[in-house]
């Protein structure tokens, strides 16, 4: 049985914390799904972590669909949430509805995520049965407008972020990502909302935590302050590739075991 928006609501009601991880391809989706991760986020962070872009802005609908399909094919139990990429929903409500529909219909996602105070679009999508995960605080699609990847909601700005979160809940969002906000604000929004809050750089008191898988696995050289490495996969890959090359160079691979008669 796939995890649903009702399961996530129940987790919050039971005080049960959960995790969300980014996934961009089929094998990692399968591994995360089997490890019991309830929500896989095909984030537009695919642009930085997989496609070699310097930020999220160039990511297209085509690219998102390509990765969402691969992840959806690898997820048996996890809910798959797909990011609406930059300029796929900002210009008009109709375009936002159409593109959200594509991520569900052509991509196989169960829900979409969008950034910022787009209450009307969240309301419309919820009305037609497309669950929406909202995202406030540091919203990477507005990186230029924010003047860089910086903490949001300090001082007087806290009320604005709290109010945005309240409005998005009212509009029908089933969960909300809080990115790079002070821990006290993360806790306050979590108390104020009925829907689960998913923190990334929002302190320890949100209902769930999300990390970029490539940060967690040690595939990225630089980490944001809020991310933590749980493995050193870059070194593991480096060592494996060097061992293979050394075997080939000294004629040890392929050996008899790995050759056909």
Catalytic residues: 179
First-to-last alpha carbon distance for the chain, in angstroms, is 46
Inter-residue contact 121 to 143 (CB < 8 Å): no
Token pair 């490539």: residue:
214
The count of chain residues that interact with ligand KIV, using the rule CB under 6 A, is 12
Burial class (CB in 10 A: 0-12, 13-18, 19+), 245: exposed
| Residues 107-146 contacting ligand KIV, CB under 6 A | 135
Q: Degrees (nearest 5) of the Cα angle 232, 240, 68?
A: 65
255: left (phi over 0), alpha (psi -120 to 50) or beta: beta
Nearer to ligand KIV among residue 149 and residue 244 (C-beta): 149
Among residues 22, 190, 197, 209, which is the contact residue for ligand KIV, using CB under 6 A?
22
23 binds ligand KIV (CB under 6 A): no
Among residues 83, 169, 188, 207, which is the contact residue for ligand KIV, using CB under 6 A?
83
Nearer to ligand KIV among residue 200 and residue 216 (C-beta): 200
| Residues 211-230 contacting ligand KIV, CB under 6 A | 212
Nearer to ligand KIV among residue 25 and residue 253 (C-beta): 25
Among residues 44, 169, 188, 215, which is the contact residue for ligand KIV, using CB under 6 A?
44
Part in contact with ligand KIV (CB under 6 A); list of ranges 36-44, 89-97, 120-128, 158-166: 36-44
Smallest distance, Å, CB 228 to ligand KIV? 14
Inter-residue contact 126 to 171 (CB < 8 Å): yes
Nearer to ligand KIV among residue 162 and residue 198 (C-beta): 198
| Long-range contacts (CB closer than 8 Å, 24 or more residues apart) made by 180-184 | 180/137, 180/138, 180/149, 180/150, 180/151, 180/152, 180/224, 180/226, 181/137, 181/138, 181/151, 181/152, 181/153, 182/151, 182/153, 182/154, 182/158
Among residues 5, 70, 202, 210, which is the contact residue for ligand KIV, using CB under 6 A?
210
Smallest distance, Å, CB 115 to ligand KIV? 8
| Residues 139-178 contacting ligand KIV, CB under 6 A | 177
207 binds ligand KIV (CB under 6 A): no
Nearer to ligand KIV among residue 179 and residue 188 (C-beta): 179
Residue 70 CA, distance from chain mean position: 15
Nearer to ligand KIV among residue 83 and residue 188 (C-beta): 83
Number of alpha carbons in the 13 Å side-chain half-sphere of residue 179? 21
Site residues, ligand KIV (CB under 6 A): 22, 41, 43-45, 83, 135, 177, 179, 200, 210, 212
């Amino acid at each position: 049985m796939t995890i649903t928006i009702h399961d996530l609501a129940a987790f919050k009601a039971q005080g049960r914390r959960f995790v969300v991880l980014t996934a961009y391809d089929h094998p990692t989706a399968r591994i995360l799904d089997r490890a019991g991760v309830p929500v896989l986020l095909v984030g537009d962070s695919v642009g930085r972590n997989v496609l070699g872009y310097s930020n999220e802005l160039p990511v297209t609908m085509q690219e998102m669909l390509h990765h969402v399909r691969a992840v959806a094919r690898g997820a048996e139990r996890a809910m798959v949430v797909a990011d609406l990429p930059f300029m796929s929903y900002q210009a008009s409500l109709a375009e936002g509805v159409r593109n959200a529909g594509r991520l569900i219909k052509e991509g196989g996602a169960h829900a979409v995520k969008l950034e910022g105070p787009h209450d009307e679009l969240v309301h419309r999508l919820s009305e037609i049965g497309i669950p929406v995960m909202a995202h406030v605080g540091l919203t990477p699609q507005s990186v230029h407008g924010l003047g860089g990847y910086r903490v949001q909601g300090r001082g007087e700005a806290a009320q604005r972020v709290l109010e945005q979160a309240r409005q998005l809940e009212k509009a029908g969002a089933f969960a909300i990502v809080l990115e790079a906000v002070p821990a006290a604000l993360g806790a306050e929004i979590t108390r104020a909302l009925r829907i689960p809050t998913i923190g990334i750089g929002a302190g320890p008191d949100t209902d769930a935590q999300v990390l970029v898988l490539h940060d967690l696995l040690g595939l990225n050289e630089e980490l944001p302050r809020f991310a933590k490495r749980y493995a050193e996969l870059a070194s593991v890959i480096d060592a494996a590739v060097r061992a293979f090359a050394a075997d080939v160079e000294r004629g040890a691979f392929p050996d008899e075991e790995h050759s056909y008669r």
